[in-house]
Structure 1
Amino acid sequence: MRRIGGQILLLLQSGTLKLLVFAGIILLAWGTVAPVGTLVWWLSQSSESLGIKKNLAKNLSRDSRSPKVDKSENIDCYIVFLPGVGDFSANQLTPGEEFFLHKLEQIHRNCVAVRDVFPYSIANESLGGRRLLAPLWSAAEKADGWFSNTDILIKIRNLWRFAISADERYGHIYNLGIADVIVNRMNAVHPLSKRPKQGLKLILVGTSGGVQVALGAAPYLDRWLNAQLFVVSIGGDFDGEEGFEVVEHVYQLVGRRDWIEDLSQIVFASRWPITVGSPFNQARRQGRYTVVKTGPHAHSGSQGYFGTTTIGQSQTTYVELTLKKVNQLPIWSNQNQK
């Protein structure tokens, strides 16, 4: 006990403990004001732009920020990627994530990939955009050496957006805004038909906190689009409340070394087996929720789901194994067509 007391005293004298306490206070204060941006966005929107009177024919227009897809006009499938909490912007996918989406487009010629949705901004704005704290986020993202650990600030900031999406008070507004972003980015990549001749397939692929946002946006996407909705969660975390009543199926891909994915099963009561009436447990009983074991993946990093290093002595990379597992899902076949 004396040794521990002495170490605490040294921490106090060096200022390290004071810094940690100060960081904790800032974190709590941060969470208190986190919903302000969502409320400001809500107040600045009209009823039509909010989707209360959604009119796809009037609201959708091409956006030069997204590359045009050189494919046939027989596009009936959109793959929307929502990255994890460690991402800085919608335009900063890792090489593994880019490889994954590019291969999916190559294999499934009727699909286009939407890469530029940032699920931690209701305005789809990167952390380095027009923000009060933009210099802080940019510095944290570019830091190297010992200061490279400051990227935890970005993760904490994005985790608060994850929490807002799951919040009963603010989540509906936030998820509505993200759904609006998704529809507009889909149209920017390939124009959405105003009168589709056949059912559209929308595959929301998320990792980490992006899955919660995907499920939160699902009810609005279901309302606005004549589409089958599938969610592919790659080591994702979610509360088990939103989205399950409207999606066709949720596939949860889990690696053996991914312990982060286990946390949401503990934190959110809707994921507990005893809450039999929760949307998550109802979907599981109805066979609309499937867990897929992917292999030796960790949650992130070079050995994560989108890692580009090879697995052991094999010639297969971690992201190639993830791609293989996703391609084996029945969402690509005609058996799920209505």
Structure 2
Amino acid sequence: MSWLPLTLLVLGAVLLAEALLARYEVMVYTAGWRTPTGELPQDMPYARGADPDRPPDAYVVYLDGIGKRQPRDTRDGGQLVKALIAGAPELRVLGQVQPYSPLAAPLLNRPVWAWLRHHIGLLLFLHNVMQIFVAADHRYRPLYNRAVGAQIADQLRHAGYRPDSGIPVVLLSYSGGAQVATGAVEELHTRLRAPLLLITIGGFHNGANDLSRAEHLHQLTSAGDRIERVGTWIFPQRWRLFHRSGWNRAHRAGKITVHRLDPATHLGRRSYISPKAWLPDGRSHLDHTTDTVIALIRAQRGGGPSPGVAGRDRPAL
């Protein structure tokens, strides 16, 4: 057998195993066989930023892309979260939520995954990719949304959030984190009755989730982001033809606004959160993204117009 058929056979087996494992976790949660854990490492706070003894202007929950494997890690080493805290000390920021685990279980705390990290690191990313597609699958989506929405609500309560307080909750998501953010809206509204603002950065999601309980969704995108563009092609609910999808209903209600962060890319040295790529005005891509996010949150809190609006979203096709 040549190497190509063998490689395809192994890859197919791995994908099948990952698909089954991804579904297994959400079913275990639904059946109540395991209870999600909300505990964090001893030296890790539930939120950083504004003084916990005083109500912040908003709580920001950062839902990272597929590289998220444990409470501490992010694709950029936490630079975006740090920049938000430094630029907007009135916010409380949570960066520890596990968006790709209905059981809130970090991958690196599991013995098998600890071994895989050192031997086949790509599988860690593949696991989270499969979780995105489980979260988008109409058979599992309500269960997944409920599980991760409950996880976010619990983390917010630990961070000091009080239901019915009227303090906004901002779901700031990167890439596949947008699937989780849009799915968590209904559960968060039920549990916290909080004003919900969504900000997606290169959002990769299927457009099926109901956004009627969200105040607004700001889509940060770029012409150089090919991965986000793929999401608008492969998910029919993002197409204009499917006018009853959650995404298109929100669009018609005027709840979606696009903000261009050209020439940023989805990944690499010119990504949205790169501190090493520079704009003509002297800001890095990280600075540009951080400034935009902070301005949007402050505008929403103050009831003023959103800055830098480049036009309403137009679904593909």
> Normalising by structure 2, what TM-score?
0.85
2:68 corresponding residue in structure 1: 87
Rg: which structure is higher? 1
1:139 corresponding residue in structure 2: 118
Matched pairs, number? 301
1:231 matched to 2:198? The reply is yes
2:161 corresponding residue in structure 1: 192
Deviates more, 1:325-334 or 1:286-295: 325-334
Kindly tell me: are residues 241 and 66 of structure 1, through their superposed partners in 2, closer, same or farther at Cα, counting changes over 3 Å?
same
Consecutive unaligned residues of structure 1, counting only runs of 5 or more, are: 1-11, 51-58, 141-149
Sequence identity, in percent? 25
Q: Deviations over 1:24-64 (max 9, x none)?
A: 23213421342112111222269xx89xxxxxxxx999985
Partner amino acid, structure 2, of 1:110 = E
Kindly tell me: are residues 106 and 31 of structure 1, through their superposed partners in 2, closer, same or farther at Cα, counting changes over 3 Å?
same
Partner amino acid, structure 2, of 1:152 = L
- Contact kept, 8 Å, 2:64 with 2:75, in 1: the verdict is no
- Contact kept, 8 Å, 2:223 with 2:263, in 1: the verdict is yes
- Contact kept, 8 Å, 1:299 with 1:305, in 2: the verdict is yes
Distance 1:177 1:131 in 2: 23
Alignment of 1:177-216 (within 5 A): 177-188=147-158, 190-193=159-162, 196=165, 199-216=166-183
1:172 corresponding residue in structure 2: 142
Distance 1:307 1:238 in 2: 22
1:54 corresponding residue in structure 2: none
2:184 corresponding residue in structure 1: 217
1:37 matched to 2:25? The reply is yes
Alignment of 1:279-294 (within 5 A): 279-294=246-261
1:212, CA displacement in angstroms? Answer: 0.3
2:7 corresponding residue in structure 1: 19
Cα RMSD (Å) of the superposition? Answer: 2.8
- Contact kept, 8 Å, 2:113 with 2:124, in 1: the verdict is no
Consecutive unaligned residues of structure 2, counting only runs of 5 or more, are: 305-317
4+ runs of 1 displaced by more than 4 Å? 59-65
1:128 matched to 2:108? The reply is yes
1:310 corresponding residue in structure 2: 277
Distance 1:21 1:30 in 2: 14
2:59 to 65, 75, 78: 78
Partner amino acid, structure 1, of 2:302 = N
2:129 to 152, 156, 159: 159
1:86, CA displacement in angstroms? Answer: 2.4
1:75, CA displacement in angstroms? Answer: 2.0
- Contact kept, 8 Å, 2:69 with 2:106, in 1: the verdict is yes
Partner amino acid, structure 1, of 2:277 = T
2:213 corresponding residue in structure 1: 246
2:314 corresponding residue in structure 1: none
- Contact kept, 8 Å, 2:162 with 2:192, in 1: the verdict is no
Q: Deviations over 1:102-122 (max 9, x none)?
A: 232334343200010111111
1:292, CA displacement in angstroms? Answer: 1.0
Kindly tell me: are residues 62 and 259 of structure 1, through their superposed partners in 2, closer, same or farther at Cα, counting changes over 3 Å?
closer
Distance 2:5 2:281 in 1: 45
2:293 corresponding residue in structure 1: 326
1:195, CA displacement in angstroms? Answer: 6.0
The alignment partner of 2:84 has SS state of helix
Distance 1:307 1:61 in 2: 31
2:232 corresponding residue in structure 1: 265
1:131, CA displacement in angstroms? Answer: 5.0
1:3 corresponding residue in structure 2: none
Distance 1:204 1:183 in 2: 11
The alignment partner of 1:220 has SS state of helix
- Contact kept, 8 Å, 2:57 with 2:301, in 1: the verdict is no
Distance 1:314 1:24 in 2: 47
- Contact kept, 8 Å, 1:66 with 1:185, in 2: the verdict is no
Distance 1:263 1:61 in 2: 36
